[in-house]
């Protein structure tokens, strides 16, 4: 990849050192241009739904198909949402829970999953249990095996965890769960765009995703994959009217969606494909490894990512003895270095290494962290 050419398409790179793609990605020109063009077209020609309904429907279906193709699923099995929380609550609300049922999450679950899960405990008597994420893939799978019971009704796990960026062995998890007749929901917020993902081959029953992190789409847009056998079994619990969907996963698409967001999402996917997801994965893996090594060399700094490189992603997470993560992150922001503090299991800092990140930016980050830690220790 030509990094200079890539950075020329991301205006924010001239203003700061941006290490928070795992939170919200910076805007890519192709996505911004699409949004602007959509707004201008609506201004000139009026609301597409009213003025040209057939074209409106065809374009929205084309954008849905683009998302589906990127995930390796059929378009009819994908409903459009506003992000991961939308998809997760659709699944949680659609299952016929009984008191004493168990719902298994990771111990690193984002509030988008954790909060609606905990509400099930209050409303339905569901027992929420947490799978500890540490050690090797085999250790995690053994831990999972020991936690599955006859009361386990659903696994709701991050494909890539939010704080340590741990890539879970998704296919192996699905195989174990299905052997016990347990469905699996994955949160794909931190996975799609970091490495190739084929949801159908993975065998997940549900896959909730968003586009405004590693897919560089607009905030907020997302989608939910519902495996075909679940499309009639999952109850429809609408939060508002479903005007358009009667069959397939569109049964779970409520109210209206902002079509321009999904057209812009498709533009973001075209941009990612133009760079090549394999190229992105290789570049980010190399630079992330260098970043972890450089941060680990700072006295008092500990890396919180998996020891196995195959379980690592572009998320680099560290903590420092005697200095809280929010303090480090704030001090970095004061230097125009944008990161995110962690807080689910420890007080640290999450750094997102992306395809537009340069080695020089990593050097600046590491130098700043070393200064902050030395001053605060």
Q: Do domains 3-27+276-376 and 34-271 have the same CATH topology?
A: no
Note the CATH number of domain 3-27+276-376: 3.90.1150.10
Mean of per-residue pLDDT scores for the chain: 95
Stretch 232-249: mean pLDDT: 70
User: What is the per-residue pLDDT for 255?
Assistant: 60
Residue 241 pLDDT more than 70?
Answer: no
Residue 240 — very low, low, confident or very high, per pLDDT cuts 50/70/90?
A: very low
Considering the chain, what percentage of its residues have pLDDT values greater than 90? Answer: 90
Residue 256 pLDDT more than 80?
Answer: no
Asked whether the whole model's pTM tops 0.85, one would answer yes
List % helix, strand, coil for the chain (3-state, nearest 5): 45, 15, 35
User: What is the per-residue pLDDT for 280?
Assistant: 98
User: What is the per-residue pLDDT for 242?
Assistant: 55
User: What is the per-residue pLDDT for 377?
Assistant: 59
Length of the chain: 377
Residue 283 pLDDT more than 70?
Answer: yes
Contacts of 83 (CB under 8 A, 6+ apart): 112, 189, 210, 212, 220, 221, 222
How far lies 323's CA from each of 247, 319, 331, 335, 347, in Å?
53, 8, 11, 17, 9
Residue 246 pLDDT more than 70?
Answer: no
pLDDT of 39-62, one tens digit each?
A: 999 999 999 989 999 999 999 999
- Give, in words, the CATH class of 34-271: alpha beta
Contacts of 36 (CB under 8 A, 6+ apart): none
| Of 7-21, 41-55, 167-181, 242-256, the least confident | 242-256
CA pair distance 159, 149, nearest whole angstrom: 22
Every domain of the chain and the residues it spans: 3-27+276-376, 34-271
| Of 51-55, 160-164, 211-215, the least confident | 51-55
User: What is the per-residue pLDDT for 103?
Assistant: 98
pLDDT of 338-349, one tens digit each?
A: 999 998 899 999
Higher-pLDDT residue of 250 and 33 is: 33
User: What is the per-residue pLDDT for 236?
Assistant: 83
User: What is the per-residue pLDDT for 243?
Assistant: 52
- How buried is 176 (Cβ within 10 angstroms: 0-12 exposed, 13-18 middle, 19+ buried)? middle
Tell me whether strands 337-338 and 17-18 are parallel, antiparallel or unpaired.
Answer: parallel
pLDDT of 94-145, one tens digit each?
A: 999 999 999 999 999 999 999 999 999 889 999 999 999 999 999 999 999 9
| Of 9-23, 45-59, 130-144, 194-208, the least confident | 45-59
Tokens at 4, concatenated: 């200079």
């Amino acid at each position: 990849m030509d990094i200079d050419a890539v950075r020329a398409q991301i205006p924010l790179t001239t203003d700061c050192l941006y290490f928070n793609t795992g939170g919200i990605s910076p805007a890519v020109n192709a996505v911004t241009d699409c949004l602007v063009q959509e707004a201008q077209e609506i201004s000139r020609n009026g609301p597409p739904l009213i003025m040209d309904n057939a074209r409106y429907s065809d374009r929205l279906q084309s954008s849905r198909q683009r998302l589906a193709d990127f995930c390796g699923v059929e378009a009819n099995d994908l409903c459009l949402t506003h992000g991961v929380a939308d998809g997760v609550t659709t699944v949680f609300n659609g299952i016929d829970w009984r008191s004493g049922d168990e719902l298994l999450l990771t111990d690193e679950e984002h509030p988008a999953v954790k909060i609606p899960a905990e509400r099930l405990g209050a409303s339905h008597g569901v027992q929420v249990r947490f799978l500890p994420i540490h050690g090797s893939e085999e250790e995690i799978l053994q831990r999972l095996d020991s936690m599955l019971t006859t009361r386990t009704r659903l696994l709701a796990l991050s494909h890539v965890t939010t704080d340590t960026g741990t890539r879970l062995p998704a296919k192996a998890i699905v195989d174990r769960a299905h052997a016990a007749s347990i469905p699996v929901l994955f949160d794909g917020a931190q996975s799609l765009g970091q490495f190739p993902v084929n949801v159908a081959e993975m065998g997940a029953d549900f896959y909730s995703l968003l586009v405004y992190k590693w897919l560089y789409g607009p905030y907020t847009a997302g989608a939910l994959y519902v495996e075909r056998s679940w499309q009639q079994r999952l109850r429809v619990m609408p939060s508002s009217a479903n005007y358009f969907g009667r069959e397939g996963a569109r049964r779970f698409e409520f109210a209206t969606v902002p079509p321009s967001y999904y057209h812009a999402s498709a533009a973001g996917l075209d941009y990612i494909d133009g760079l090549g997801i394999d190229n992105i994965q290789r570049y980010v893996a190399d630079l992330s490894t260098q970043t972890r090594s450089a941060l680990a060399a700072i006295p008092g700094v500990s890396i919180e990512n998996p020891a196995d490189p195959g379980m690592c992603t572009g998320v680099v997470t560290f903590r420092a003895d005697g200095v809280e993560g929010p303090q480090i992150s704030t001090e970095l922001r004061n230097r125009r270095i944008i990161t995110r503090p962690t807080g689910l299991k420890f007080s640290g800092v999450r750094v997102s290494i992306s395809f537009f990140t340069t080695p020089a930016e990593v050097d600046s980050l590491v130098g700043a962290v070393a200064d902050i830690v030395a001053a605060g220790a």
